[in-house]
Structure 1
Amino acid sequence: MRPARSADVEAIAELRAVVMRPDLERLGRYDAHRVRQRLRDGFSPRHTSIIMAAGAFAGSVTLRPRDDGHWLEHFYLSPGLQGQGLGSAVLATLLNRTDTTGDVVRLNVLQGSPARRLYERHGFTVETQDAIDVFMLRPAPPRRPPAPQPATPNPWG
């Protein structure tokens, strides 16, 4: 992965349209302009990473900080690379980061999207849902108490 730049917005918007089209059409919500514009309107290069495979653009993911944890969004992977473990590896990397800070992670996925299974395998559960979206949550991992320190020998016996 590499940090996103402002110039990446159109490549991500186009990939979003391709990846989301089957689910949006199934839900009767596909609009070629709107699917791209929603990405442009909310694009945050500062919180977005570009996924690279064999030196080429393969996808994107945004992990946006919020007061109550993080919001995972704009996670798109080229269709030809899906199902090979790349998305799972990217997600595991991001979740390792949020685990170290003890943060909750939230996301939403379209009803019926196969991506939901990926999120469930990584510990996300349904928080709420409606006719279009499923809102999921991955709680912060339990805090482990610090490891006990060995007793320091008393030099005076």
Structure 2
Amino acid sequence: MTFKLRSATDDDIDFLMRLRKQTMSEHLDEAGWFMDDSGHLERVLIHFEDCHLIKVGEEIVGMVKYLNQVDKIFVMQLQIQAKYQRQGIGREVVEYLIELANTNSKHVELHVLKANPAKHLYERLGFTVYDEDKLEFHMSTQQ
């Protein structure tokens, strides 16, 4: 594993806001889900206690927010800074969560915007679409 996770603190909120806008605004706009700063902040703060910064060496490269539930791990958000994308970090984080789930006889679920190309990564890692709504595919490793 080339990354480490550390729990987010209140001192990280500004970084998380910048990261969210950098990584999500384009996909949200494309989906017709226009979000102002208060909407972004709401998404940053929801389940904040489950937010982890992704570090490679001493550099913070992104964040993952996941809920470790009784029967599954639900990935709420995964965001990697643009300059670190396409380097396998997001894949490694998802593989780590799949391994964590498998070790505990769970599966992993997530929702991905239909306009987000990350869906292809999730499919390569064994996720399948089990449902969808107007804006998102609902995906799971459970067959």
- TM-score, normalising length: structure 1: 0.80
The counterpart of 1:115, out of the listed 115, 118, 127, is: 118
Q: What is the Cα deviation at residue 6 of structure 1?
A: 2.2
Q: What is the Cα deviation at residue 34 of structure 1?
A: 4.2
Percent identity over the alignment?
Answer: 24
Work out the CA distance in 2 between the residues paired with 1:60 and 1:92.
15
| Unaligned ranges ≥5, structure 1 | 141-157
Work out the CA distance in 1 between the residues paired with 2:111 and 2:138.
4
**Counterparts of 1:7-86 in structure 2 under 5 Å?**
7=10, 8-45=12-49, 47-86=50-89
Q: CA RMSD in A?
A: 1.8
Sort the Cα spacing of 1:116 and 1:95 in 2 relative to 1 into closer, same or farther, 3 A.
Answer: same
| Unaligned ranges ≥5, structure 2 | none
Q: What is the Cα deviation at residue 35 of structure 1?
A: 4.1
Residue by residue over 1:26-65, the C-alpha shift from the partner in whole angstroms, topping out at 9 and shown as x without a partner, is: 12212232442232331333x3321113412110112202
Work out the CA distance in 1 between the residues paired with 2:79 and 2:91.
12
Cross-structure match for 1:96: 99
Which protein has greater RCO, CA pairs closer than 8 Å, 6+ apart?
Answer: 2
**Matched residue of 1:10: which SS?**
helix
- TM-score, normalising length: structure 2: 0.87
**Matched residue of 2:131: which SS?**
strand
**How many residues align structurally?**
139
